[in-house]
Structure 1
Amino acid sequence: MNRNKTALAAPIAAALLAAAVTTATPAAAAYGSPWHSAWGASPQAPTHTDWFPNWSEQGFRDQSVRQVVRAGAQGGELRGRLSNAYGKAPLRLAGATVAKSAGGAAVRPETVRTLRFGGSATTTVPAGAELSSDAVALPVQAFEQLTVTLWFQGPTGPATFHNVAMATSFRADGNHLRDAAADAFSAAGDQSFSWYYLAGIDVKDPAAPGPRRSAVVTFGDSLSDGFGATPGADRRYSDALAGRLAALGTPRPVLNAGIGGNKVLTDSPCFGESALNRFRRDALGRPDTAAVIVLEGTNDIVQPDGVQDRCTTGPRVTAQQIIAGYRELIREAHARGVRIIGGTIPPYGESGYWTARGEEVRAEVNRWIRTSGAYDAVVDFDRAVADPEHPQNLKAEFAFADRLHLNDAGYRAMAEAVDVNAL
C-alpha cells in the first residue's frame, strides 16, 4: 500500500498520479473466487479524535471485543476477515467466534461458532496484513445482524480500526467468546462507536451461481460512512440502496467504503489515506466488485478553509486538482473492468464550513461530473438533497444538525437518486 503523503502545493503532476498507480493490489482481489462480500469496512490507522472517541490507540489486553454488523448477502457458509493493516507488530488473536445477534451485545447461543484459521482457534496476523478465517457453516440471510467476538489475551498495541461505525461495539475483561448474554459487556465506558480489526464478512451460497461480480461499493467520506444517521439503525445511504435493490427483486450486496473526514488528494493521520492511495484496496480489492459509486471531495474543499490541526492540515486545492484525482480513480476502475459512477458533491451552505471560494470549487467540480462523460454514469446527489430555492443549502428536512451531513431521510433521498440500471 502506498502511504506517501501527497504534496499538492502545485497542480497535480505526473508524479502524484504515478504514485497512485503503483499502489499494490491486494491478493484477496482474485476474481473468480466462490466467496461473495456480505459486509466490509475501510481500515484506518489508530488515532484519537475528539469528535469520535475510540479505543484504537490503547488497543486491548486480556479483553474480548464484540462487534455487530449487518450482512448484505445470503449464504450457507461464512468467513471473517481481520486487518492488521496499520499494526507495527504481529497481532496475536487468542480466539474468535461469530453468532447471530440477539440485540445489543447478546447473541443467540445456538448460533455461536468458533472461527478458525488454518484449523487453529488462535492465529497471528502479520503487521500490515489481512487474514481470512476458515469457512464456518452458519446459514445467513441478507440484512441479518451478525456478531463477531475477538479475544486478545496479550497486549495488541495500537489497533487498526474503522472510526465512524455508526454502530455500537462492546468490550469486556477476560475471555467471553461464547457468552450468550450481554452481562459481561455492560460496564460503563465499555461501548464504542467504532469497529476494531474486523475488515469484512464473506459468504458462500451453494445454491447460487458460481463466481460472479455483483457487489456495489459506496466509496467516499462521512457522507458515505453515514455520519448523521441514527446510530445502530443501519440507515446510511448504502443501507437504503441495498434495501431498494432487494425491493426491486434484484438484491445485491452494497459495501460501505466511506471514511469520515477522508479526502481525494491528501492523506490524514485521523481520516485515513487519500482516495488515491486506498482505492485499490477499499473499492477494488474485493473478489466481486462490479460497480463503485464515488462521493468524495467535500473535505478537500472545506478542511483547508477551517482551523488547521494535525487531522485537517493540507493545502487549498482547485477544482482541476480534484478532477485530476477523479480521473485517476476512473482509470483504475476501468483497468479492473469495474463500472464507476460519479456522485456530485451535496451543498453545505448553512454549515460553519461554507466559504464563497469553496462554493465556487464545488460548483465547478459538479459541472464536470455532470457534463464530462468521464464516469460511466452520474448520480446527482447535489440536486437530490438541495433546497430548490436556496441550492447552496441542504433541504431542511434532509439536514443533520450541522447542516453539512444528512439525517435518515436525507440518506434515503441519496439512495433513491441512484439509477439502479446504471449499476
Structure 2
Amino acid sequence: MTEPEISWVRSWGASPQSPDEGLRSLDSHPPLADVTLRQVVRLSGGGRRVRVRFTNEFGTTPLTIGAARVGFALPGGGVRDERVLTFSGATAVTVPVGAPMPSDPVDLPVSALAELSISLYLPERVETCTCHDPVLDTGWTIPGDAVAASALPPDATVLPVRALLSAVDVLPGAPASAVVVVGDSRTDGAGSTPDTHHSWPELLAARGAGFVVNQGISGNRLLNDGIGPAVLARFDRDVLATPGLGCVVVSAGGNDIAISAAPRDDGPMADFLKMFPGAPVTTDDVIAGFRQLVARARERGVLVYATTIAPFEGSEAYSTAAEAARHEVNAWIRTGGAFDAVLDFDAVWRDPDHPSRIRADFHSGDHLHGSDAGYRALAASVDLSLFEPAVIAGKPGR
C-alpha cells in the first residue's frame, strides 16, 4: 500500500496590515534601521521541519533582511537550539514591495504548542513596516545585528507590533490539515492577557483541535476595508492560500453591523468611524458576503463553519438598530443551512438575564471584547469532533 503523502501545514499565522491602520502603535517607535527584531510565536501543531514566512506586503520600498534565525523561545527573550534561516540558499534577501518571502525549510523538530523565537536583522531603514497591530506576544527591538544573541541584551526595547512576520509552516510527521479562523478583534484576542495565548483560536488549539491558525484583525469587517483589508478582500491570501487548509471558521460581520448603524455625527464614535470608509450595509449585504465566502471555500473543497455574533450592548458600538440586525444575521447563520457547522458564540456569551449584553465575567470591561474567562468559554464550547481528520477529509455538506 502506498504511504499517504505528507505536505506542509500552517501552524501559526498573523494577518498582515499597514502600520497606518488601527492603533498605529509604531507611530511613536524609533525607525527600524540597523536593528534586530526578536519575536515569539506559539505553534498550534508540531512537525519535523519548519519554514518561516516574512512579509513586505504593505511596504513602500524593498525590504532587506540581513540575517534571520529561528529557535526555541526561553523566558525573557532568550533562545536555544537556533537554526540559521536561508532564502534560496542565501543568508540575506531583499523582499520586493508588496511581496511575502518564505524561508528555506530547516530541520527543527517541534511539538504542538511549542514557542519559537524568530530573529531578523534589518540593516537598512524600513520605510513602511508591514505588521499586525495589536500584538499579544511581547517582542523586542535590539540595536545592531543581534540575531545570534542567545540572551536578550540589556539595550533591547519592546516592539509594539508583530512586524514583518506572517506565518510559520511545519512538515508534520503524519498527514494533517489546518483550520483557519478568520475574523475581527474577538478572534484576534483583544481584551485577553498578553503573553498568555488566550485568544479563543489559541485555546482551541490547546484543547487538541490540531493546526489552528488565527487570522483575526482587530477592527476588521467582512465587506469593506478599514482596519485591514476586508475579509472578502483578504480571503484568498489569508485563508485559501494556507498550506494544508482543510477547514475555515468565519467569525465576522459584527463590525459591519455596528458601524453601519452608528450615528454619523460628532458623538464619541466620530473619530473612530473615520477609519471605516464606505456606505452603510444591510443585513442582506452581510448575508450575501457570507454566501460569497462559502462559495469560494467550497470551490477549494474546504469545510466552512461560522460563529454567531455575540452581544455588545454597553459598548460604544451598540445601538438598537445594530442589535436588531445582529439577531437577523444570527438567525440566518443558525438556520440558513449555508455552513457545515455553526458555533453559537452568542449563546455562550450572552447574559441570561440581559441577552443583548455579554455576561459580566466574560468581557474585559468594555462590554465588547472577551476576558480570559470569556475566551476560555468560547473555546470550551466547540465540539472538537468537527476538526477530526476523518470529518475534514470526508467534506460533508458539499
**TM-score > 0.5, shorter chain as reference:** yes
1:121 aligns with 2:88: no
Structure 1 counterpart of 2:213, which letter? L
Higher deviation after alignment, 357-366 or 303-312? 303-312
Alignment of 1:18-57 (within 5 A): 34-47=7-20, 49=22, 51=23, 53-54=25-26
Structure 2 counterpart of 1:274, which letter? A
Deviation at 1:52? 5.9
Do the aligned partners of 2:25 and 2:134 also contact (CA within 8 Å) in 1?
no
Match of 1:350?
A: 314
Structure 2 counterpart of 1:374, which letter? A
Give the 3 Å change call, closer, same or farther, for CA 290–232 of structure 1 in structure 2. same
Match of 1:105?
A: 77
Determine the C-alpha separation between the residues in 2 that align with 1:392 and 1:71: 35
Deviation at 1:417? 2.1
Determine the C-alpha separation between the residues in 1 that align with 2:185 and 2:301: 27
Give the 3 Å change call, closer, same or farther, for CA 56–322 of structure 1 in structure 2. farther
Match of 1:194?
A: 161
Determine the C-alpha separation between the residues in 1 that align with 2:88 and 2:317: 50
TM-score (norm 1): 0.85
Structure 2 counterpart of 1:260, which letter? S
TM-score (norm 2): 0.90
Deviation at 1:294? 0.7
Match of 2:177?
A: 214
**Aligned length, in residue pairs:** 375
Give the 3 Å change call, closer, same or farther, for CA 53–46 of structure 1 in structure 2. closer
Do the aligned partners of 2:178 and 2:243 also contact (CA within 8 Å) in 1?
no
* Secondary structure at the counterpart of residue 113 of structure 1: strand
Determine the C-alpha separation between the residues in 1 that align with 2:229 and 2:128: 17
Match of 1:281?
A: 237
Do the aligned partners of 1:46 and 1:56 also contact (CA within 8 Å) in 2?
no
**What are the Cα deviations for residues 33-65 of structure 1, in whole angstroms up to 9, with x where unaligned?**
72121111111122164x462369975110111
Give the 3 Å change call, closer, same or farther, for CA 185–262 of structure 1 in structure 2. farther
**What are the Cα deviations for residues 226-247 of structure 1, in whole angstroms up to 9, with x where unaligned?**
0011101101101111122x2x
1:141 aligns with 2:98: no
Which residue of the other structure, out of 141, 165, 171, is the alignment partner of 1:204?
171
**What are the Cα deviations for residues 250-297 of structure 1, in whole angstroms up to 9, with x where unaligned?**
x511100000000001111xx100111001111111121111111111
Determine the C-alpha separation between the residues in 2 that align with 1:85 and 1:125: 9
Match of 1:78?
A: 50
1:264 aligns with 2:222: yes
Determine the C-alpha separation between the residues in 1 that align with 2:111 and 2:329: 40
Which residue of the other structure, out of 138, 158, 178, is the alignment partner of 2:128?
158
Deviation at 1:312? 2.7
Deviation at 1:384? 0.7
Do the aligned partners of 1:170 and 1:185 also contact (CA within 8 Å) in 2?
no
Give the 3 Å change call, closer, same or farther, for CA 369–48 of structure 1 in structure 2. closer
Do the aligned partners of 1:303 and 1:313 also contact (CA within 8 Å) in 2?
no
Structure 2 segments unaligned to the other structure (5+ residues): 263-268, 388-398
Match of 1:131?
A: 101
Deviation at 1:323? 0.6
1:91 aligns with 2:63: yes
Match of 1:169?
A: 139
Determine the C-alpha separation between the residues in 2 that align with 1:164 and 1:299: 17
Match of 2:346?
A: 382
Do the aligned partners of 2:225 and 2:277 also contact (CA within 8 Å) in 1?
no
* Secondary structure at the counterpart of residue 107 of structure 1: strand
Structure 1 segments unaligned to the other structure (5+ residues): 1-31
Do the aligned partners of 1:99 and 1:148 also contact (CA within 8 Å) in 2?
yes
Determine the C-alpha separation between the residues in 1 that align with 2:187 and 2:171: 26
